[in-house]
């Protein structure tokens, strides 16, 4: 596995590199001393595995994860000297976390878990999305990333870029300005995880991002036709008509 080490402490990077080089099938392809450099290296080297320190200047570890994008996402293992951050990362869904100083047996276990996860791209994407949703120290919460599938690839989508969710039979589509992605959950599960003030159910088969509603046209006294910013039209059912009030308020 191509591996990247991200830590602002040179000694910590050197120690971790020396330990990783003793493990079979692990190739350390690069190092980064801060979050900005980490994002550049990840985009350039496309590592399979990233050991990521949380406490770094300028851009911290959690923010690095939130900014990850592209078709090939790495497995992330959190590295920290602080128990509270390790617990936070673990509860957020990180595949693993390592406390400094790193013990050899824990490192081997983390690499083995990462190797197993790497063969499941959907699980990697969902893992990254959960880590990205973890609150930073002193910050209550942050918006979740949405995992969408296109072909055999998985993408992390920012909620603000999603125009709507549409169900077609058992399939749920994530609609963006130019593409459609397949969602991994049912529409009901998607709705439970969304920010209520931004997304509203308008039909049993549709949820819209109210920030992307361009026009509302009355069809009858209880039915509306919504036009989204990509010109797509959706009908608001009678049952969900009351949700329109929240869109009209400004």
H or E segment and range at residue 132: helix 121-132
Angle between helical axes of 121-132 and 104-118 (0-180°, round to 10): 120
Whole-number pLDDT of residue 140: 35
Regarding pTM above 0.75, the answer is no
Whole-number pLDDT of residue 92: 56
Radius of gyration of the chain (CA): 21
Q: Which residues of the chain have pLDDT under 70?
A: 82-95, 133-144, 195-197, 243-250
Name the residue among 226, 23, 38, 35 with its Cα closest to residue 136: 35
> Yes or no: is domain 157-248 CATH 2.40.50.1020?
yes
Phi, psi of 178 (to 5 degrees): -125, -10
SS (H, E, C) 77-100: EEEECCHHHHHHHHHCCCCCEEEC
Whole-number pLDDT of residue 134: 65
- In angstroms, the CA 42 to CA 111 distance is 18
Q: What is the greatest pairwise CA distance in the chain?
A: 71
Q: Strands 27-32 and 2-6: what pairing? A: parallel
Whole-number pLDDT of residue 86: 58
Which residue has 């399979």 as its token pair? 48
Query: Residue ranges of the domains in the chain?
Result: 2-132, 157-248
Within 8 A by CB and 6+ apart from 201, the residues are 191, 207, 240, 243
Whole-number pLDDT of residue 82: 66
> Yes or no: is domain 2-132 CATH 1.20.1530.20?
no
């Amino acid at each position: 596995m191509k591996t990247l080490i991200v830590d602002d402490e040179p000694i910590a990077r050197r120690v971790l590199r020396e330990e990783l080089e003793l493990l079979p099938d692990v190739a350390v392809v690069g190092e980064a001393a801060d979050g900005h450099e980490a994002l550049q290296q990840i985009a350039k080297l496309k590592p399979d595995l990233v050991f990521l320190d949380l406490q770094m200047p300028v851009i911290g570890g959690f923010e690095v994860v939130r900014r990850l994008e592209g078709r090939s996402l790495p497995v992330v293992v959190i590295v920290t000297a602080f128990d509270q951050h390790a617990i936070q990362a673990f509860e957020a869904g990180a595949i693993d976390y390592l406390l400094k100083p790193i013990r050899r047996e824990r490192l081997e276990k983390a690499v083995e878990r990462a190797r197993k996860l790497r063969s499941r791209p959907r699980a990697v994407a969902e893992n990254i999305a959960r880590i990205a949703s973890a609150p930073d120290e002193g910050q209550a919460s942050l918006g979740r990333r949405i995992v969408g599938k296109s072909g055999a690839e998985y993408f992390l989508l920012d909620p603000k870029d999603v125009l709507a969710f549409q169900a077609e039979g058992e399939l749920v589509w994530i609609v963006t300005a130019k593409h459609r992605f397949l969602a991994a959950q049912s529409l009901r599960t998607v709705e439970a995880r969304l920010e209520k003030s931004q997304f509203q159910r308008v039909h049993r088969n549709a949820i819209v991002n109210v920030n992307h509603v361009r026009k509302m046209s009355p069809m009858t006294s209880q039915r509306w036709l919504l036009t989204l910013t990509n010109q797509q039209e959706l009908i608001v059912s009678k049952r969900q008509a009351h949700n329109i009030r929240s869109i009209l308020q400004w």
